[in-house]
Amino acid sequence: MVSKTRKDITTRDDVKLLVDRFYEKVNQDELLAPVFSHVDWPNHLPIMYDFWASIVLGEMSYNGNPFAKHIHLNINKEHFTRWLELFTKTVDVHFEGYNATQVKTRALSIADLFQYKRGLLGNRS
């Protein structure tokens, strides 16, 4: 269900809402929850706030290597598809506008890059 009073993602509180609601869905998802069961969420979520705030708001608050943090996970194309589905739905329920569209586009780019680096997409040429 889409909220009737959606706005664009313009503040760190908006990013926090997006991240919190998204990971609530991840942790309830039968495919994704087992993959992330080891995560220390109270310590991890602030990192995710920084990551997405850097991407969508240009904060430059994230300093890290996201791919390196995920390389050890036992994930395949199905996991990426579900992750993107949940992320997109979460954005669409809570937000609309330029930044909302951009964050979904960036999520797709990140998922594609991770899959490519893992050899899940093959050569695109």
DSSP the chain: ---TT-B---SHHHHHHHHHHHHHHHHH-TTTTTTTTT--HHHHHHHHHHHHHHHHH------S-HHHHHTTS---HHHHHHHHHHHHHHHHHHB-SHHHHHHHHHHHHHHHHHHHHTTSS----
The CA distance from 50 to 60, in Å, is 8
Q: How confident is the model at residue 3 (pLDDT cuts 50, 70, 90)?
A: very low
Task: Indicate whether 125 belongs to any domain.
Answer: no
Judged against a pLDDT cut of 70, whether residue 66 lies above it is answered with no
Task: Indicate whether 124 belongs to any domain.
Answer: no
Range of the domain at 108: 12-117
Q: How confident is the model at residue 122 (pLDDT cuts 50, 70, 90)?
A: low
- The pTM assigned to this predicted structure is 0.86
Q: What is the CATH number of the domain that holds 57?
A: 1.10.490.10
Task: Indicate whether 63 belongs to any domain.
Answer: yes
Q: What are the backbone dihedrals phi and psi of residue 95, each rounded to the nearest 5 degrees, phi first?
A: -140, 160
Task: Indicate whether 16 belongs to any domain.
Answer: yes
What is the per-residue pLDDT for 63?
A: 79
Task: Indicate whether 104 belongs to any domain.
Answer: yes
Task: Indicate whether 1 belongs to any domain.
Answer: no
Task: Indicate whether 81 belongs to any domain.
Answer: yes
What is the per-residue pLDDT for 73?
A: 74
Chain segment 9-65, per-residue pLDDT in tens: 999 999 999 999 999 999 999 999 999 898 999 999 999 999 999 999 999 888 776
What is the per-residue pLDDT for 46?
A: 95
Chain-centre distance of CA 5, in angstroms? 22
The structural domain count of the chain equals 1
The percentage of the chain sitting over the pLDDT mark of 70, rounded to a whole number, equals 88
Report the pLDDT averaged over residues 84-110.
96
b/e burial code for range 60-81 (CB count within 10 A of at least 16 → b): ebeeeeeeeeeeeeebeeebbe
Task: Indicate whether 6 belongs to any domain.
Answer: no
